Chains A and B, each alone.
Chain A
């Protein structure tokens, strides 16, 4: 097992931690087993497991005066041959002053209101983790950034500056059946942006509602592919197109439940005319969500999500023959139901997403039980379907049943 240098540093640091004398210090962590078994077909690499690993996490949390240090590191052993699963999940220092604060280091940042639908959450995710039945916290990847919070009377502000770009993790083509328009071209390279990104969120309460504005300047987190030649391609480059996002959100009580509204304009700076089919078109994204609690320990959430392409005719004109055509407007409905039973130790949940424009769908039922206050387990499934090139449709052979078992230390 080859641990990354950052993980090694972390565990060395954790071992030395008691030296930090006056600080209020806590150590915690967990041991975890996580596996996911294919139910339809083997992986492209022939394996029957989507995921099979043991993992240990150690978390160090130290506070002294206005300072806080948090480090969360994972050591993992993957049975399917990956050597790089150990990582520093989060590691940052906080400084808190009266009406401002600072967080520097690797940190998870989540913006916006969506439930597995991302409008203003421009920070890196791990899509593979979601599709392979890993626990929810692995859906997000940390960013190496400085976050400055400012809290004057009239509003709160959060400025995030990341010197280096960090991409989202997409499913691995050896484990997932992914749509590939040029499967014969095996000479492939990935080019990451040489610079970082910056985001600003401003928020405050307005008449009982939580209102926020979001600005982001950076790159798409998932790569676009560009062949060197359209007629006789020999090499494909994956790259992260320039992107700015301008968005807003509002949430609050409406009737018996909570209403969430979110919108954003995705300014595709790499191709403002929309004539480069390899770069996503500029978009408007809209989300309307409503959550109610119709009975004790039962909650229901429904979301409507739309994506609208702004330069559709340019996109259509530039799209080469044989490539799948996306619709100008795409509508998605999602539903989540969660029922807690046995004094909230047993949780049944169901998440379903259906795209009415192309039939793409994803269903995730899960049962989670806390055997004791320290041991919990979950069993669930991921079912995908739709057109062979759709976000979920391409994964239709990747249906899996997963197990998570965790012992909290």
Chain B
């Protein structure tokens, strides 16, 4: 009853002091977009579409497991169904926030597991318009994040965050991300080159609630300079399946268990 004065004090604090910083928004966004659940599974269909409308399909099962809190280490396991010449290929990434990933590829044609160099996180993932960073995230600390404004995307209220690389090694100038204020999913992202021209556009085309986690189940990345785009759809999406740590090993790269890759 005697705490009435606290309400007055709270009322006097300017609203913006309680608001999130750009970095906090991006951290929450990373947690919502790339870290939900203890683990995650989806069948991913990627359509690579060129400016003439010709399509190529990449289909895989993606499994992810977090080592701890959002922002921490993660392990990814991917099994390819399509195209036919990479069927049964598997790919594993051990992702560490502050240093380069470890990556392994299993080549079924010669039954060989090979470690592969991975310093270039900005390379294309399986030839699509998504980079490895677009798929598994970019370190928050690599960029400076500032909330530029607030804006609606469709009927969703969003923070618009400008992220500028701190170093000079990045191949882009900056990016703008529209982060949903309610669930912190990125609904739109624009990447600008070093001359300030917009060249890539990400859109979250469909969001579904899966086991209580809002999940982007359809997304598109457009290359605005080449007219090429990649549309991605997740099916059989699920969380907290109890994926064992042992899955992320050479044994299962060579013999991926059916129960996880279907």
Residues of chain A touching chain B, judged by Cβ–Cβ distance below 8 Å, are: 24, 28, 30, 63, 68, 94, 96, 101, 107-110, 113, 135-137, 139-140, 149, 151, 156, 203, 208, 210, 251-253, 256-258, 260, 291-293, 295-297, 299, 340, 343-345, 370, 372-374, 376, 406, 408-409
Contacts and interface: CB of A to CB of B under 8 A. Distances in A.
7 contacts: A24-B262, A96-B255, A101-B255, A151-B249, A257-B119, A343-B56, A345-B127
A343 B124 contact: yes
A361 B220 CA distance: 48
Nearest to B257: A96
B44 interface: no
A110 B111 contact: yes
A97 to B, nearest CB: 12
Contacts of A343: 48, 50, 56, 124, 127-128, 228
Nearest to A29: B84
Q: In this complex, which of B84, B100, B250, B255 has the most chain A Cβ atoms within 10 angstroms of its Cβ?
A: B84
B200 to A, nearest CB: 14
* Interface SS, A side: strand
B124 A258 contact: no
A373 B83 contact: yes
B115 interface: yes
Contacts of B236: none
Given A108-B110, A370-B83, A258 B116 contact: yes
Given A256-B117, A292-B117, A373 B56 contact: yes
B127 A344 contact: yes
Q: In this complex, which of B57, B100, B117, B123 has the most chain A Cβ atoms within 10 angstroms of its Cβ?
A: B117
A258 B84 CA distance: 28
B115 A373 contact: no
Nearest to A123: B111
Nearest to A108: B111
Nearest to A139: B110
B102 interface: yes
B116 A370 contact: no
Contact of B111 (A140, A340, A408): A140
Contact of B117 (A24, A135, A258, A297): A258
B110 A340 contact: no
B109 A370 contact: no
Nearest to B131: A296
Contacts of A28: 84, 87
Contacts of B112: 110
Contact of A136 (B110, B126, B228, B262): B110
A260 B250 CA distance: 16
B250 A156 contact: yes
B166 interface: no
Given A291-B116, A296-B123, 14 more contacts: A109-B111, A110-B110, A110-B111, A136-B110, A151-B249, A208-B102, A296-B122, A297-B124, A299-B116, A345-B56, A370-B85, A373-B56, A374-B83, A374-B84
Contacts of A251: 115
A63 B85 contact: no
A143 to B, nearest CB: 11
B124 A408 contact: no
B82 interface: yes
A246 to B, nearest CB: 21
A251 B103 CA distance: 12
Contact of A151 (B87, B127, B251): B251
A145 to B, nearest CB: 13
B120 A156 contact: no
B83 A297 contact: no
A119 B249 CA distance: 23
A167 B194 CA distance: 58
Contacts of A292: 117, 119
Given A293-B117, A296-B123, A345-B56, A253 B102 contact: yes
Nearest to B99: A253
Nearest to A373: B83
B124 A256 contact: no
Closest 8 pairs (CB-CB, A-B): A344-B127, A408-B84, A137-B109, A343-B127, A373-B83, A110-B112, A296-B123, A293-B117
Interface in B47-85: 48, 50, 56-57, 82-85
Given A28-B84, A28-B87, A256 B119 contact: yes
Contacts of A376: 85
